[in-house]
Amino acid sequence: MDFPILNKDQVDKEQSYTSEGLTFQGADLIADDSNTQNIPNAYRSSAVQGNVLPENSTNTQGTPPYDSYNYYSYFDDRGCPLRKMRQDDILGPTIMFVNTDLQTAEWVGSVMLLVPGFYTSPVVTFNDGFMQYYGQPTIIGSFEKSIFYRYDIRIPLDINIEKNVKYQINDVPTQYNFTIPSQTGNWRWNFWTCNGWSLNVKDEEKQKLGGNDVLWEDLLEKHKIAPFHVMLGGGDQLYCDLFWKYPVWNDWLDISSHEMRKSAPFTAEMENFIDRFYFLHYILNYFYTSKFTEAMTTIPFSFVIDDHDIFDGWGSYPDYLHNSCVYQGIKKYAFKYWLLFQAHTNHDLSRQHGYFGYQGYSWLKQFGPNTAILGTDTRFERTMEYVISPETTNVTMHKLHNLPVTVKHLQVITGVPVAYPRLTIVEGAFTFLTKSKATKLSIFQKDGAFSSICNAFGEPELLDDLNDHWTADIHLKERNELILRLQEVSKMKSMRVTFVAGDVHCAGAGRFASQHPHIAPENDYRLMPQIISSAIMNVPPPNAVIRMCHYSAKKYEVDRNTNEMMYELFKTDVNGKSPPNNNKKLLGRRNYSSFSEDPLSGSIFANIHVQNENNVGSVSYQITIIPLHCN
């Protein structure tokens, strides 16, 4: 697919805020006059979840017809896509950053292709301007007549020169490219979450925000100016809640007894449907969405899973739902396709491909010698008891203690923020409602899928979102223990730890820090910034939610040595005025973030790019994350 070169005008705005060794600065309003769509009308995103409908579909609103999730509505009997993206009938590529091999000074990555089953193995070639390399193919999965191929590739890092690597598939002239840093250069990466729409978002709301691609266009424009080396997805790379709308679940939803609902079988009909649903939902959202599809070919990604990659609130439901045969059956297929599409692997190969955990799929990657990124799987093992199992936490800490001595920054991706305003008053109210059997309260519902399924279960509509938070009463002890163990790692390794998360559909920044005022920020191993950045597509929460969070965002005590607080990052809104309700801690606008190493100071510059009011470009709010120098 060919994509147009967009013309942009750049306007600078300045605003800054400094606190405890972190410097905040706003800049870069990027204007974009282009709103070009690059996919056929029949394959443009529908009103529901960004789904792409078949060419003959007239359903542009509501739930797509049941037969939309039929393989042969999209592929012929040989596995060739009916809507071609390439002349050779291959879907893809998507390119993933696997790691940096510091011993051999090599960039390590993989490419995934979906190939018709009758094809011989395609050849993927890479050229860095000096040599040609060949990807090493592995078949990692299949569905009907479609085969998943993973191609592993290693490319040497030059000592001083950043490389633009071109790659192509077979002899088809279409070329793709990505950028890798030098051994001594600074790494640049972006972070985003919530790349889809909640079920309850109306067409008018989407249009008011400018549709799907405002921030994707902005991100890709920044990529043209200073190419990103990695694209971090913090969860909800796509929204899968839609499957609850289909009649295959009705008999199960009609069961009133908790015990009977828990033990009711995951039927063959359910299994067949959910298998097809996840496969085709990925096909439509990965390969037939304009700007996201482009980004997946040109910015190597590393993703973690969050609830919507499974379905809304996964892991925060009561035991009779979470451990029901139906829920666990759905989980099996959600992770099967998350691994294939978002991790370029399968369960059997996942450990070989760098994923770890007692059961789940966390990862730890080197962004060169100075920065490491920990991607936590907070969904596979998640229950009301814990977010991450103690066994996985122990494995994780062991890996962190064994990081190279050159690592000065560790970013921890957690899906949901670790530092975030408490919602204990609301949580207590909903717990009371659970006990009193009230079901119709909806104060600040974030996602529509919850109401569509949980009212049927007799559960209040928002308790899952509250239980999803690290700051929920049921998870607060685990959260605080995690913070203390990371403090120990930070102190021993003289390594600055930063939390990065999304999920909550707003932008913000906070921190943990020492209670002792005489400790300078650069010497404080308890100083751990929190960057909050979401959503790149989904709608912000209502102002009432932001206001509630703002007023509960006071300074809290983690223990006698550590406190936490939110920064007043947003002195002005994107329009230069005071933010709504003078809320300077959280900004309810769509956003994503970017990071770059500063080789001179050893700091990392973090920018939260907030969508402009006119839906053209973004305004950037900068946070400087200083390195740690333990005495």
364-377 pLDDT, tens digit per residue, is 999 999 999 999 99
User: Among the residues of 371-472, which ranges form H helices?
Assistant: 390-401, 424-436, 448-454, 463-467
CA distance linking residue 33 with residue 312, whole number of Å: 35
455 found inside a domain: yes
Q: What is the pLDDT of residues 184-205, one digit of tens each?
A: 999 999 999 999 999 989 999 9
Q: What is the pLDDT of residue 265?
A: 98
Q: What is the pLDDT of residues 401-454, one digit of tens each?
A: 999 999 999 999 999 999 988 765 454 544 444 444 444 333 334 444 444 445
User: Highest mean pLDDT range out of 59-68, 92-101, 377-386, 577-586?
Assistant: 92-101
Which one, of 505, 528, 323, 302, lies nearest residue 416 by Cα?
505
Tokens for 85, please give them: 């993206």
98 found inside a domain: no
Report the b/e string of 410-443 with b at 16+ CB within 10 A: bbbbbbbbbbbbbbeebbebbbebeeeeebeeee
385 found inside a domain: yes
Q: What is the pLDDT of residue 393?
A: 98
The residue written with tokens 């096909």 in the block is: 283
563 found inside a domain: yes
**In Å, what is the CA distance from 156 to each residue of 102, 104, 106, 137, 517?**
11, 8, 4, 19, 46
401 found inside a domain: yes
Taking 90 as the threshold, does the pLDDT of residue 154 lie above it?
Answer: yes
**CA quadruple 201, 204, 205, 207: dihedral sign:** positive
Residue 342 DSSP class: I
372 found inside a domain: yes
Number of domains the chain contains: 1
CA distance linking residue 572 with residue 13, whole number of Å: 11
Q: What is the pLDDT of residue 553?
A: 64
Tokens for 548, please give them: 């509630």
- For residue 347, the tally of other CB atoms under 10 A from its CB is 13
- The three-class DSSP label of residue 213 is coil
Q: What is the pLDDT of residue 46?
A: 32
65 found inside a domain: no
Whole-model pTM over 0.85:
yes
Report the b/e string of 592-602 with b at 16+ CB within 10 A: bbbbbbeeeeb
Q: Which domain holds residue 488?
A: 12-29+189-508+521-568+581-625
Asked if 277 and 69 count as a contact pair (C-beta separation under 8 A), the reply is yes
Residue 7 DSSP class: P
Q: What is the pLDDT of residue 269?
A: 97
What percentage of residues in the chain have a pLDDT greater than 90? 75
Taking 60 as the threshold, does the pLDDT of residue 600 lie above it?
Answer: yes
CA distance linking residue 92 with residue 172, whole number of Å: 13
- The three-class DSSP label of residue 547 is helix
The residue written with tokens 């030059």 in the block is: 158
Tokens for 291, please give them: 């700007």
Tokens for 204, please give them: 């008018």
- The contacts of residue 290 (CB under 8 Å, 6+ apart) are 3, 37, 38, 39, 44, 212, 213, 216
90 found inside a domain: no
- Output the domain CATH number for residue 365: 3.60.21
Q: What is the pLDDT of residue 66?
A: 67
Q: What is the pLDDT of residue 290?
A: 83
Higher per-residue pLDDT: 607 or 384: 607
Residue 398 DSSP class: H
Asked if 516 and 551 count as a contact pair (C-beta separation under 8 A), the reply is no
Taking 90 as the threshold, does the pLDDT of residue 524 lie above it?
Answer: yes
Angle at 192 between CA 368 and CA 376, to 5 degrees: 65
